């Protein structure tokens, strides 16, 4: 079973920052992140994952002032991962990089550098920007339209991976006696010219320990699945139904085959939002304590954001979710939540309370044994290769999973007791591309 840790600074629950056990300055507290990284490494998890946005998610300052998960105060993730590489030894280090507001040369260079610094533990989550407020920070009145963003993302990934291959693994002679630093026969400028980018290359960083750092992708829309199938080693998905995740996995792998890839080489990991206790009652008390801390204004604003920045003003909060117009922001999550509301008969208020926690991901509440039972069912059914764990609050939520659930998975022979390799590709069982 593959396991990653998804780290919003204070935890995945919208009200986590108000919990007395959570440092309120978590987003800019390096000691806090170092503790989380060491906890995850103690649990032999495959990787840490840091989400990111290049803008605060929202413009309502009174509402933003009452939330801590809207990218209002947190480190730039690749910089943070470079620091975490120095205080860890084995765990993978991954973060989101937007193809919409970055350049492929800079991205290839930064991630290759992180791969060297960490000894082969780097990965990147390739996304297209969904937060409309990012556009304003890059001189645009709005995002490029959805299809154009995804065309750019495909080309972005092609250029990044091409740059990582501009040097052969054995190009670096560094022979002091002969005076030759590298072999010029083992360099291949990229000379890419496409719709969005013109990049000559080569990259001025040697090929990394992994050849290609691990590529992750989390799109579930039609365009997102196509991008994942073409580019990703690991695909995240938000699903709460076993049949839905099975269909998603089969679909993405079938698409990967169309790109000439081995479908079995594409790992699918589902998000899971766990409340773990030594008893069921303790786990439920942990959940209710956070639910009681939800600010209604923040909960509603978060729901509107997750629905593609829908406008629910004037709606009866105790009435059903209205039919929403199409959005040019992230589409798959909004569709998922609308289906959830319809299937479960949720009012807007009930939906925002649920969204404030799992945001469409699978929520599990119980003892280590019952949580492990649920993860085991999906894993042994073959519908996923593992899970991205989204602790409700940090640091305690991650420690609960590592100290209670991981030993139970180990007891069942489903998870490693020690790291067997050095690189993130080793942990995930992925081959190293040769150049």
Q: What is the CATH number of the domain that holds 18?
A: 3.20.20.30
If we measure between CA atoms, which residue out of 391, 280, 405 comes closest to residue 21?
391
**Whether pLDDT at 309 is above 90:** no
- CA-based Rg of the chain, rounded to a whole angstrom? 22
In a domain, 435, yes or no: no
Residue 17 carries which DSSP code? G
Cite the DSSP H helix spans in 139-210.
146-164
In a domain, 269, yes or no: yes
- pLDDT, tens digit, 9 for 90 and up, residues 135-188: 999 999 999 999 999 999 999 999 999 999 999 999 999 999 999 999 999 999
- Last residue in a domain, options 315, 330, 355: 355
* Predicted TM-score (pTM) of this structure: 0.90
Q: Are residues 261 and 322 in the same domain?
A: no
Percent of all residues in the chain with a pLDDT value above 70, rounded to a whole number = 97
Same domain membership, residue 233 and residue 330: no
Of 325, 355, 385, the last residue of a domain is 355
Give a yes or no: residue 433 inside a domain: no
Query: How many Å apart are CA 239 and CA 360, to the nearest integer?
Result: 7
Same domain? For 186 and 303 the reply is no
In this structure, are 273 and 341 located in the same domain? no
Same-domain check for residues 192 and 263: yes
Do 348 and 371 lie in a common domain? no
Q: Which domain holds residue 163?
A: 2-279+361-428
- β-bridge mates for residue 325, sequence order: none
What does the angle CA 296 – CA 55 – CA 51 come to, to the nearest 5 degrees?
80
pLDDT in tens, 189-200: 999 999 999 999
Query: Domain check: are 166 and 212 in the same one?
Result: yes
How sure is the predictor about 126, in pLDDT bands with cuts at 50, 70 and 90?
very high
User: Is 86 part of a structural domain of the chain?
Assistant: yes
Q: Rounded to the nearest 5°, which phi and psi values hold at 415? A: -145, 150
The pLDDT confidence band at residue 58, using thresholds 50, 70 and 90, is confident
Length of the chain: 435
Residue 285 lies in a domain: no
- Does one domain contain both 413 and 374? yes
For residues 92 and 216, state if they share a domain.
yes
Closest CA to 255 of 268, 243, 241: 268
């Amino acid at each position: 079973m593959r396991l990653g840790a998804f780290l919003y600074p204070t935890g995945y629950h919208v009200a986590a920052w108000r919990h007395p056990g959570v440092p309120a300055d978590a987003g800019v507290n390096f000691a806090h992140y170092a503790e989380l990284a060491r906890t995850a490494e103690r649990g032999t998890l495959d990787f840490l994952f840091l989400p990111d946005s290049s803008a605060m998610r929202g413009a309502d300052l009174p509402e933003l002032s009452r939330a801590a998960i809207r990218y209002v105060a947190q480190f730039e993730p690749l910089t943070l991962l470079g620091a975490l590489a120095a205080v860890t030894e084995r765990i993978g280090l991954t973060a989101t990089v937007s193809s919409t507001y970055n350049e492929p040369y800079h991205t290839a260079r930064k991630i290759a550098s992180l791969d060297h610094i960490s000894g082969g533990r780097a990965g990147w989550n390739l996304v297209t920007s969904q937060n409309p407020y990012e556009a304003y920070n890059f001189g645009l009145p709005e995002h490029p339209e959805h299809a154009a963003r995804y065309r750019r993302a495909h080309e972005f990934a092609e250029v990044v991976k091409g740059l990582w291959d501009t040097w052969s693994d054995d190009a670096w002679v560094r022979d002091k006696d002969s005076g030759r630093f590298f072999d010029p026969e083992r360099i291949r400028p990229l000379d890419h010219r496409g719709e969005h980018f013109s990049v000559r290359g080569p990259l001025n960083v040697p090929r990394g320990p992994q050849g290609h750092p691990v590529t992750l992708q989390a799109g579930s829309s039609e365009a997102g699945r196509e991008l994942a199938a073409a580019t990703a080693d690991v695909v995240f998905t938000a699903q709460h139904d076993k049949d839905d995740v099975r269909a998603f996995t089969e679909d993405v792998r079938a698409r990967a085959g169309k790109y000439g890839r081995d479908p079995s080489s594409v790992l699918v990991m589902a998000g899971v939002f766990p409340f773990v206790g030594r008893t069921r009652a303790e786990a439920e008390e942990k959940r209710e304590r956070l639910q009681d801390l939800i600010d209604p204004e923040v909960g509603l604003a978060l729901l509107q954001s997750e629905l593609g920045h829908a406008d629910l003003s004037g709606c009866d909060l105790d009435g059903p979710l209205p039919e929403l117009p199409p959005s040019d922001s992230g589409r798959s999550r909004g569709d998922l939540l609308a289906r959830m509301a319809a299937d479960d008969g949720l009012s807007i208020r009930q939906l925002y309370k649920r969204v404030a926690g799992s945001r469409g991901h699978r929520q599990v509440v119980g003892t280590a044994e019952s949580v492990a039972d649920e993860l085991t069912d999906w894993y042994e059914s073959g519908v996923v290769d593992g899970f991205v764990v989204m602790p409700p609050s940090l640091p305690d939520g991650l420690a609960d999973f590592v100290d209670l659930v991981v030993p139970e998975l180990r007891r069942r022979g489903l998870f490693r007791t020690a790291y067997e390799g050095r690189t993130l590709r080793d942990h995930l069982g992925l081959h190293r591309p040769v150049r």
